[in-house]
């Protein structure tokens, strides 16, 4: 397979080279992949992560790391000391099911923690913030598939509602304090370094269990669909957002639906294993269909996903094999 380094040409990005960049959640799955790419772009990278779901071993040692929660006032000192030019805000409570069980906890982290980050961006004059929102949970059961950004938002979970709330706060900080932003509404991201236990992405769970010879559980009938986008493509979208002078909301996905039964069968085939799933009742707050229209980010940033589902699954399985 050809080199698809974050879906872009193998070059140093002069727009980002030398910039001081802060990544919240930089020890997490997407964050750690993003940090490594930023360092390869000759950026100076600072990470804030409380390691609740992130892992310190994921972190590139060239990044400056602070083990601090985004809800903690201590991040004031980090912003004052490091004075980042750009902030990527990925730190969050990311589990939809957990948000349904404890919506207050979800709001404290995803809304109040984000406000703590935004207040510090305002205080030190951060030039731009890129926010990891959700496309999978923000539109609800959409009648238009793939779903565009102008479709009415109707979250079915506290997680989706919290992400939408932060989007509205970003608009407030932009209009009143000139904080530029890009919101990336992510589809279902998968790939190397995804935690098969904490973040509970279905592909990471399936890969982990397949290689351990364990049978996975599929909630519902397995016919629910998702738009699975490979993490390197997502990192490419984050980099494109940081390069751009534009402000706005952009979907990041593949525009293709895959049901859970198909994903399971594909992993089973690629792993060369014989195992079967068991089925359990569908979980509250989960959608039946989710798929994103990425034509806007393609037009504005010339971004397009480079990895097919099969290519991404192969790379993900390889990573789990080496663990």
Marked catalytic residue, from 139, 151, 159, 190: 159
Other Cβ atoms less than 10 A from the Cβ of 266: the count is: 17
Half-sphere exposure of 162 (CA within 13 A, CB side): 27
- Per the CB < 8 A criterion, the answer to whether 21 and 45 are in contact is yes
The radius of gyration of the chain from alpha carbons, rounded to an integer in Å, stands at 19
26-51: buried (b, 16+ CB within 10 Å) or exposed (e) per residue?
bbbbbbbbbbbbbbebebbbbbbbbe
- Per the CB < 8 A criterion, the answer to whether 182 and 88 are in contact is no
- 170 DSSP β-pair partners: none
In angstroms, the CA 264 to CA 267 distance is: 5
Place of tokens 């406000």: 115
Beta-carbon contacts of residue 206 (< 8 Å; ≥ 6 apart): 216, 263, 264, 267
Beta-carbon contacts of residue 193 (< 8 Å; ≥ 6 apart): 29, 32, 33, 55, 58, 231, 319
- In order, the DSSP letters of 120-182 are HHHHHT-SEEEEEEESTTTS-S-SSSSBPTTSPP--SSHHHHHHHHHHHHHHHHHHHH--EEE
Q: Give catalytic status of residue 159 as yes or no.
A: yes
Q: Cis omega (within 30 of 0) on the bond before 146?
A: yes
Active site residues: 159
């Amino acid at each position: 397979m050809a080199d698809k380094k974050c879906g872009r040409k193998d070059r140093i990005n002069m727009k980002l080279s030398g910039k001081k960049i802060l990544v919240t959640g930089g020890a997490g799955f997407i964050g750690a992949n993003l940090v490594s790419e930023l360092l390869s772009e000759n950026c100076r990278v600072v990470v804030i992560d409380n390691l609740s779901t992130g892992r310190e071993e994921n972190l590139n040692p060239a990044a400056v790391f602070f083990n601090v929660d985004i809800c903690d006032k201590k991040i004031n000192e980090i912003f004052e000391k490091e004075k980042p030019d750009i902030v990527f805000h990925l730190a969050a409570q990311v589990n939809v099911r957990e948000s349904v069980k404890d919506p207050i906890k979800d709001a404290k982290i995803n809304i109040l923690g984000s406000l703590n980050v935004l207040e510090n961006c305002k205080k030190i004059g951060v030039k731009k913030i890129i926010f990891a929102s959700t496309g999978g949970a923000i539109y609800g059961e959409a009648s238009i598939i793939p779903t565009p950004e102008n479709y009415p938002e109707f979250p079915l979970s506290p997680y989706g509602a919290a992400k939408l709330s932060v989007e509205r706060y970003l608009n407030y900080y932009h209009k009143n304090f000139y904080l530029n932003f890009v919101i990336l509404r992510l589809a279902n991201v998968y790939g190397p370094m995804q935690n098969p236990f904490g973040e509970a992405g279905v592909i990471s769970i399936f890969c982990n269990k397949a290689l351990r010879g364990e049978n996975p559980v599929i909630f519902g009938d397995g016919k629910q669909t998702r738009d699975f986008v490979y993490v390197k493509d997502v990192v490419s979208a984050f980099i494109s957002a940081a390069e751009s002078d534009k402000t706005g909301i952009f979907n990041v996905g593949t525009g293709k639906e895959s049901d859970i039964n198909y994903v399971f069968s594909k992993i089973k085939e690629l792993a060369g294993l014989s195992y079967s799933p068991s089925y359990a009742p569908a979980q509250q707050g989960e959608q039946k269909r989710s798929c994103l229209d990425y034509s806007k980010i393609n037009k504005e940033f010339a971004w397009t996903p480079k990895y097919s589902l099969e290519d991404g699954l192969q790379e993900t399985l390889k990573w789990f094999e080496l663990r």
